[in-house]
Amino acid sequence: MTVPRLAILLSGRGSNFEALARAVRDGMVPAEIALVFSNRPAAPGLEIARRLGFETAALAGSGQEREAYDRQVVELLRARGVEWVCLAGYMRLLSGYFIEQYRGKILNIHPSLLPAFPGLEAQKQALDYGVKFAGCTVHFVDETVDGGPIIAQAIVPVRDDDDEDTLAARILEQEHRLYPEALRLVLGGRYRIEGRRVIMA
């Protein structure tokens, strides 16, 4: 049986990549991770991927024009037969070109209950705002920043004694659970998108 081929794109630590890789290894997510890619050649997540035996690639992203850069990335993905792309802490905006090439097949995880607190430092934004519930969101990627249709969310209560680190750590635990679950649902193919709503069959 052939399984969908995934690429994971990351820029840093790579803990969400590790959670996805575990889920694939354990058979919870029927897929193959064909490539782990980074816009930061020194990203710790790449090193972890190499140690786990995955193929990796990196292209330094800073100062590169967005579409020209993404054309190179898409070429790397196509050469490996990648059908689905999971952004896992990939801190570079995708060009319209990339999104068009993989329309409806790009997932992202964001550490807030979107549409609250898109962009950078979502956990700090939540604390500063004073919300009582934070969380994380897995969503399809479209041309908007952190704005595509929502696949799954998890709620994390904010405690009075939370600081950015404690809150981020509790959200991260949920991210590691939620991302594989959302990916499994989507790869199962039993959903439809109505407007902004992702409806599971």
What sign for the dihedral angle of Cα 85, 87, 88, 94? positive
Rounded Cα distance, 175 and 135, in Å: 8
Residue closer to ligand GAR by CB (options 164, 192) is 164
Distance CA 85, CA 83 (A): 7
Query: For residues 18 and 83, which CB has a smaller minimum distance to ligand GAR in the complex?
Result: 18
Strands 106-110 and 84-87: parallel
* Interface with ligand GAR (CB under 6 A), residue from 29, 31, 85, 109: 109
Shortest approach of ligand GAR to residue 73 CB, angstroms? 17
Q: Could you tell me the smallest distance in angstroms from the CB atom of residue 193 to ligand GAR?
A: 21
Q: Which stretch binds ligand GAR (CB under 6 A): 34-42, 105-113, 159-167, 190-198?
A: 105-113
Report the residue from 8, 10, 77, 141 that binds ligand GAR according to the rule CB under 6 A.
10
Stretch that binds ligand GAR, among 5-13, 28-36, 62-70, 71-79 (CB under 6 A): 5-13
Helix (H, G, I), strand (E, B) or coil at 7: strand
Q: Which of 4, 45, 61, 180 binds ligand GAR (CB under 6 A)?
A: 45
Report the distance separating Cα 171 and Cα 48, nearest Å.
22
Task: Please tell me whether residue 12 binds ligand GAR under the rule CB under 6 A.
Answer: yes
Structure token pair of residue 83: 């059908």
Q: Least distance in Å: CB of 25 to ligand GAR?
A: 17
Q: Does 180 bind ligand GAR (CB under 6 A)?
A: no
89 binds ligand GAR (CB under 6 A): yes
* Edge-to-edge strand ranges of the sheet holding 191-194: 56-58, 32-38, 5-10, 84-87, 106-110, 133-140, 150-157, 197-200, 191-194
- Alpha-carbon distances, residue 54 vs 25, 48, 131 (angstroms): 12, 9, 39
* Site track for ligand GAR across 47-76, x = CB under 6 A: ------------------------------
Q: Which pair of structure tokens corresponds to residue 199?
A: 């409806």
Footprint on this chain of ligand GAR (rule: CB under 6 A): 10, 12-16, 45, 88-89, 109-111, 122, 146, 172, 175
